[in-house]
Amino acid sequence: MALVTEELKAKAEIYSGDALCQEKCQFLLKEVGLPNGLLPLKDILECGYVAETGHVWLKQRKKTEHCFKKVGRLVSYGPEITARVEKHRITKLTGVKAKELLLWVTLTDISFDGEAKVTFHSSTGLYRTFPADAFMAEEDGKK
Protein backbone atom coordinates (compact mmCIF):
# COMPACT_ATOMS: atom_id res chain seq x y z
CA MET A 1 0.00 0.00 0.00
CA ALA A 2 1.29 3.44 -0.82
CA LEU A 3 0.95 6.54 1.28
CA VAL A 4 -2.17 7.20 3.30
CA THR A 5 -4.40 9.32 1.05
CA GLU A 6 -7.13 11.76 2.04
CA GLU A 7 -9.65 9.43 0.35
CA LEU A 8 -8.51 6.56 2.56
CA LYS A 9 -8.58 8.75 5.68
CA ALA A 10 -12.17 9.77 4.88
CA LYS A 11 -13.29 6.12 5.21
CA ALA A 12 -11.20 5.31 8.29
CA GLU A 13 -11.50 5.21 12.04
CA ILE A 14 -8.57 7.43 13.12
CA TYR A 15 -7.08 7.59 16.61
CA SER A 16 -4.41 9.88 18.06
CA GLY A 17 -2.11 9.61 21.06
CA ASP A 18 0.18 6.82 22.15
CA ALA A 19 -2.00 5.23 24.85
CA LEU A 20 -5.13 5.00 22.70
CA CYS A 21 -3.19 3.85 19.61
CA GLN A 22 -1.40 1.15 21.63
CA GLU A 23 -4.78 -0.09 22.87
CA LYS A 24 -6.30 -0.07 19.34
CA CYS A 25 -3.23 -1.81 17.92
CA GLN A 26 -3.52 -4.63 20.47
CA PHE A 27 -7.26 -4.89 19.83
CA LEU A 28 -6.71 -5.15 16.06
CA LEU A 29 -4.06 -7.86 16.41
CA LYS A 30 -6.41 -9.83 18.67
CA GLU A 31 -9.36 -9.35 16.29
CA VAL A 32 -7.48 -10.75 13.30
CA GLY A 33 -5.95 -13.58 15.35
CA LEU A 34 -2.28 -12.53 15.30
CA PRO A 35 0.23 -12.63 18.18
CA ASN A 36 -0.10 -9.47 20.29
CA GLY A 37 3.62 -8.64 20.30
CA LEU A 38 4.10 -8.24 16.54
CA LEU A 39 3.98 -4.44 16.69
CA PRO A 40 6.08 -3.27 19.67
CA LEU A 41 5.90 0.38 18.65
CA LYS A 42 6.70 3.40 20.80
CA ASP A 43 5.34 6.90 20.86
CA ILE A 44 2.56 6.34 18.29
CA LEU A 45 1.10 9.60 17.00
CA GLU A 46 -1.76 8.26 14.85
CA CYS A 47 -3.34 5.01 13.81
CA GLY A 48 -6.09 4.44 11.31
CA TYR A 49 -8.18 1.50 10.19
CA VAL A 50 -10.61 1.05 7.30
CA ALA A 51 -12.80 -1.88 8.33
CA GLU A 52 -14.28 -2.61 4.89
CA THR A 53 -10.88 -3.07 3.19
CA GLY A 54 -8.63 -3.97 6.12
CA HIS A 55 -6.21 -1.12 5.42
CA VAL A 56 -4.33 0.05 8.48
CA TRP A 57 -1.61 2.62 9.16
CA LEU A 58 0.46 3.61 12.14
CA LYS A 59 2.57 6.73 12.50
CA GLN A 60 5.16 6.98 15.24
CA ARG A 61 7.41 9.86 16.19
CA LYS A 62 10.58 8.12 14.96
CA LYS A 63 11.90 4.78 13.75
CA THR A 64 12.21 2.12 16.45
CA GLU A 65 14.06 -1.16 16.63
CA HIS A 66 13.02 -4.18 18.65
CA CYS A 67 14.87 -7.43 19.29
CA PHE A 68 12.69 -10.53 19.51
CA LYS A 69 14.99 -12.35 21.93
CA LYS A 70 13.37 -15.80 21.66
CA VAL A 71 14.30 -15.96 17.97
CA GLY A 72 17.31 -13.62 17.99
CA ARG A 73 15.95 -11.23 15.36
CA LEU A 74 16.22 -7.46 15.23
CA VAL A 75 13.31 -5.70 13.53
CA SER A 76 13.14 -2.04 12.47
CA TYR A 77 9.80 -0.22 12.40
CA GLY A 78 9.81 2.97 10.31
CA PRO A 79 8.01 6.19 11.25
CA GLU A 80 5.04 5.17 9.07
CA ILE A 81 3.80 1.59 8.74
CA THR A 82 1.00 0.61 6.39
CA ALA A 83 -0.64 -2.74 5.72
CA ARG A 84 -3.78 -4.64 4.90
CA VAL A 85 -5.02 -7.02 7.60
CA GLU A 86 -7.27 -10.06 7.40
CA LYS A 87 -7.78 -13.19 9.47
CA HIS A 88 -4.33 -14.55 10.47
CA ARG A 89 -2.52 -12.36 7.88
CA ILE A 90 -0.89 -9.03 7.27
CA THR A 91 -0.30 -8.25 3.58
CA LYS A 92 1.08 -5.31 1.61
CA LEU A 93 3.20 -4.39 4.62
CA THR A 94 5.46 -1.32 4.34
CA GLY A 95 7.84 0.27 6.82
CA VAL A 96 9.11 -2.91 8.50
CA LYS A 97 12.53 -4.52 8.03
CA ALA A 98 14.24 -7.48 9.70
CA LYS A 99 17.94 -8.02 10.04
CA GLU A 100 19.07 -11.27 8.42
CA LEU A 101 22.77 -11.87 8.97
CA LEU A 102 24.30 -8.53 7.91
CA LEU A 103 21.44 -7.31 5.68
CA TRP A 104 18.17 -5.53 6.37
CA VAL A 105 15.34 -7.33 4.54
CA THR A 106 12.03 -5.58 3.81
CA LEU A 107 9.06 -7.56 5.11
CA THR A 108 5.92 -7.59 2.95
CA ASP A 109 3.63 -10.25 4.46
CA ILE A 110 3.12 -11.99 7.80
CA SER A 111 0.96 -15.09 8.18
CA PHE A 112 -0.03 -17.11 11.23
CA ASP A 113 -1.20 -20.72 11.14
CA GLY A 114 -3.59 -19.99 14.01
CA GLU A 115 -1.75 -22.24 16.44
CA ALA A 116 2.01 -22.29 16.65
CA LYS A 117 3.89 -20.73 13.73
CA VAL A 118 4.33 -17.26 12.25
CA THR A 119 5.83 -16.88 8.77
CA PHE A 120 7.45 -13.65 7.57
CA HIS A 121 7.78 -13.04 3.83
CA SER A 122 10.21 -10.57 2.28
CA SER A 123 10.11 -8.54 -0.91
CA THR A 124 12.84 -10.80 -2.33
CA GLY A 125 10.69 -13.93 -2.04
CA LEU A 126 12.55 -15.29 0.99
CA TYR A 127 10.61 -16.32 4.06
CA ARG A 128 11.27 -17.50 7.61
CA THR A 129 8.98 -19.35 10.01
CA PHE A 130 9.23 -18.96 13.79
CA PRO A 131 7.29 -20.14 16.85
CA ALA A 132 4.34 -17.85 17.55
CA ASP A 133 5.12 -17.57 21.27
CA ALA A 134 8.25 -15.56 20.38
CA PHE A 135 5.93 -12.74 19.28
CA MET A 136 3.59 -12.69 22.26
CA ALA A 137 3.87 -9.61 24.48
CA GLU A 138 4.22 -10.28 28.18
CA GLU A 139 1.11 -9.47 30.14
CA ASP A 140 1.34 -6.63 32.66
CA GLY A 141 2.77 -7.96 35.90
CA LYS A 142 4.09 -11.20 34.38
CA LYS A 143 7.76 -11.64 33.59
pTM, full prediction = 0.88
pLDDT of residue 10: 82
Q: What is the DSSP letter of 125?
A: S
Is the residue at 143 inside a domain?
A: no
pLDDT of residue 115: 85
**CATH code of 84's domain:** 2.30.240
pLDDT tens digits, the chain, 143 residues: what are they?
A: 456 777 878 888 999 999 999 999 999 999 999 999 999 999 999 999 998 899 999 999 999 999 999 999 999 999 999 999 999 999 999 999 999 889 999 999 999 998 899 999 998 888 999 999 999 886 543 43
Q: Residue 93: which H helix or E strand, with range?
A: strand 89-100
Structurally, the chain folds into a number of domains equal to: 1
Is the residue at 94 inside a domain?
A: yes
* Domain hosting residue 29, numbered range: 6-135
Is the residue at 10 inside a domain?
A: yes
Spatial distance between the Cα atoms of 119 and 127, rounded to a whole number of angstroms: 7
133 contacts 70 by C-beta, under 8 angstroms: yes
pLDDT of residue 139: 57
pLDDT of residue 11: 84
Is the residue at 77 inside a domain?
A: yes
Is the residue at 21 inside a domain?
A: yes
Is the residue at 15 inside a domain?
A: yes
Which residues, listed in sequence order, are joined to residue 86 by a DSSP beta bridge? 89
The DSSP annotation for 13-51 comes to: EEEESHHHHHHHHHHHHHHTT--TTS----SEEEEEEET
Which residues lie below 8 Å from residue 96, measured CB to CB, with a gap of 6+?
A: 75, 76, 77, 78, 81, 106, 107
Is the residue at 141 inside a domain?
A: no
Is the residue at 140 inside a domain?
A: no
Determine the straight-line distance between the first and last CA of the chain, rounded to whole angstroms: 36
22 contacts 60 by C-beta, under 8 angstroms: no
pLDDT of residue 140: 41
